[in-house]
Structure 1
Amino acid sequence: MRRIYKLLALLAVMTLFAAACTSDSDTDTADEPAAAAAADTTEAASDATEVTLTQSDCDKTYHVITHGDSGTFWSVVEVAVADAAEAVGCDVVYFGANNDAQAQSQAIEGAIADGSDGIAISLADPAGLEAAARAVVAAGIPLYTLNSGVNNYKDLGAVTHIGQTEIVAGNGAGERFNALGATHVLCARQEQANIGLEERCQGLAETFDGQVTSEFVGLDANPDEQEQTIASILTADSSIDAVLGVGPNLPLRALDAAESAGRTLHIGGFDLSSDLISAIEAGDIAFTVDQQQYLQGYIPVILMHLQATNQNTAGGGLPILTGPGFVTPDNAAEVAALVSEGTR
């Protein structure tokens, strides 16, 4: 999905940046179009689309080009991009490629041709995006990576990466399953070629004391397929007593699959949705790993603007980490209201 945010107010950028980076409970309210994009959905958009909002006279244009699908996770990133656009008062073009590396590469190439002042990209498929990413740097345009890309951003010449270290996040999940007493975890993935999701399962295996089985179980756009695939795996292997869904929808599919298979499981997840938080509050799901995707959309825009207008860079050659944090029954109620507002 492609959106261009041009907004009038040039706000106190550094104040907003500091607030976004130091608090887990920011309650920035998006405008109505952005809030609508953040509605709690569990199904991905089927195709990339374009929307243009034009109101500002700023002479800078920044691009945020991801593999996102405008579903539960990425709608929050879009809200953050819109909020950051308001903060800097400049054009920000958002494009979500719906897990299509070719479409994402073409959008990056288009941003270069448009003379972008800064390009931030996710690297779910590093091999598929390498040529386009290197073309950004060759064109003299500052490159940032977000969400996926912590292992590749330096080699590609990006200024910094904004996201979490996926292996470390998986490590934390493994430790929590150990505490729950699990012995065999199914690590369920919703994308086949996303290195970040594979690293979450790898990190789980590094710290979990029992057995880990990693499987692609279907796309988020096909929740029935996900549930049926997980149920089939559970039926085929009675030793599986836990499921880690490496996204916000799969834990819910695992919960339904466990019921249909007549099984009781320890279930953990990644990222946030109102349904997932409700299940955690009810005690049906043990935890979710929170990478705070709002920051992944907000911070790159602020950093690109500061570099373009004040020659500031951040990170010092290291990634800027937005996680992992954990949402459990102990703090789920505090996070729930923010999820409903579209900022968590």
Structure 2
Amino acid sequence: MIVRSRTFRVAAALTAVALASAACSGGGREKTDESTTGGGGNAAGSSGYTIAFITHETPGDTFWDKVKNGAQQAAKDTGVTLKYSNDPEAPKQAVLIQNAVDSKVNGIATTLVTPDALAGAVKSAIDAGIPVVGFNSGIDQYKKLGALMYFGSDETLAGTTAGKRLAEQGAKHPLCVIQQTGSVALEARCAGVKSSVPGTENIQVNGADDAAVTTTLQAKLAQDKSIDAIVTLGAPQAIDAIKAKDQSGSQAKLVTFDLNQEAAQDIKDGKILFSIDQQPYVQGYMAVTSLYLNLKNGNDIGGGNAVLTGPSFVDSSNIDKILPFTKNNTR
């Protein structure tokens, strides 16, 4: 895998710092809104800063548990008061950002999965003098929107690299499964796969309904026997794809983006070939920590460049080391 060397070094160093700090500190489908203050290395709220942490989470998606755990650990380590909220609908996420501005938080960390829909609310924060950090989605748009820093994976690079690995496995007609309409990150992943395997075909599913995902994939696999690989863009959809494969009799190879405990076990058991992991715990941890350091010390982590937390590949060669961390929702 080739990434920009300076950015990669920054990412590696920050990942080590994040995990070391964490070590020292020893469903439903409705949106959530919650505040976190906690112990860890500092007393709750001892820094005096309140940070709003806003995502496009669809509740029930285990990916976000890791993001949230990282953010909460960072809040404990820095003494920040963390206000977590989420909504998968872009206009409602924009409202959450505006609500954070109106409540006069000190900083905002937000996903930028639908940048055009969020641009107005982000500008409102910047106009109010509130620093904004992007994470997880929006790597190509965060500077345009005015965010100071960004923590996440280069999704095009991740997709391209995944496609190359599939091509090495002989794949000619992968099916790339997009579970959220309008997500620039998911579209970039599939575009990356297609750049390496031109026969890649996209399919849209409703990621909020696992049964519907399984039914849609089962029908597609039964109808088109030329599909020789399935690329899911989230771990829950990988589990749905395994069921669809079983029900349709498909022999397509399965790979996924992201991890949860069940998907990690499926890699161990050989049901999933590999996962492209963006290390969401680190994204949450560094988004909060970077805002704390910016507020306290004027730091600009990454020096204007995105800090890459992935792609990091998980397969049979390293699953034994990583599997225990998935059980703790930190990897």
Same fold? TM cut 0.5: yes
- Tell me if 1:260 matches 2:247: yes
**What is the aligned counterpart of 1:83 among 56, 73, 80?**
73
For residues 202-281 of structure 1, what are the structure 2 equivalents within 5 Å?
202-208=191-197, 210-219=198-207, 221-281=208-268
Shift of 1:237: 1.2
State the AA in 2 paired with 1:290.
Answer: D
Q: Distance in 2 between matches of 1:273 and 1:175?
A: 24
Aligned counterpart, 1:22: 16
Maintained 8 Å contact 1:145/1:160: yes
The match for 1:332 among 319, 323, 328 is: 319
Q: State the TM-score, normalized to the length of structure 1.
A: 0.86
2:275 corresponds, among 288, 299, 306, to 288
Q: In structure 2, what residue type is equivalent to 1:113?
A: D
Q: Percent identity, please.
A: 32
Does the Cα contact within 8 Å between 1:30 and 1:82 map onto a contact in 2? no
Q: How far off its partner does 1:284 sit?
A: 1.2
Deviation, 1:50, is 3.0
Q: SS at the partner of 2:202?
A: strand
Aligned residues: 314
Q: Secondary structure at the match of 2:168?
A: helix
Provide structure 1 residue ranges, at least 5 long, that are not aligned to the other structure: 1-16, 33-42
3-state DSSP class of the match of 2:77?
A: helix
8 Å Cα contact 1:290-1:324 kept in structure 2: yes
Match of 1:101 in 2: 90
Letter in 2 for 1:195: V
> Which aligned pairs between 1:1-344 and structure 2 lie closer than 5 A?
21-22=15-16, 28=22, 43=27, 45-53=28-36, 55-70=44-59, 71-97=61-87, 99-208=88-197, 210-219=198-207, 221-344=208-331
C-alpha displacement of 1:150:
0.6
Give the superposed CA RMSD.
2.1
Alpha carbons of structure 1 residues 215 and 24: separation in structure 2 relative to 1, 3 Å: farther
Q: 1:235 to 1:30 in 2, by over 3 A?
A: farther
Partner of 1:204: helix, strand, or coil? helix
Give 1:271's aligned amino acid. D
What amino acid maps onto 1:79 in structure 2?
N
Deviation string, structure 1 residues 90-149 (Cα, Å, up to 9, x no partner): 21111121x111221111111111111111110111121111111111111111100001
1:2-27 deviation digits (Å, cap 9, x = unpaired):
xxxxxxxxxxxxxxx99761289769
Q: Structure 2 regions of 5+ residues with no counterpart? A: 1-10, 38-43
Provide the TM-score with structure 2 as the length reference.
Answer: 0.90
| Alpha-carbon offset, residue 69 of structure 1 | 2.7
**Cα deviation digits, residues 199-249 of structure 1 (max 9, x gap):** 0000001112x5111111221x31111011001111221111110001111
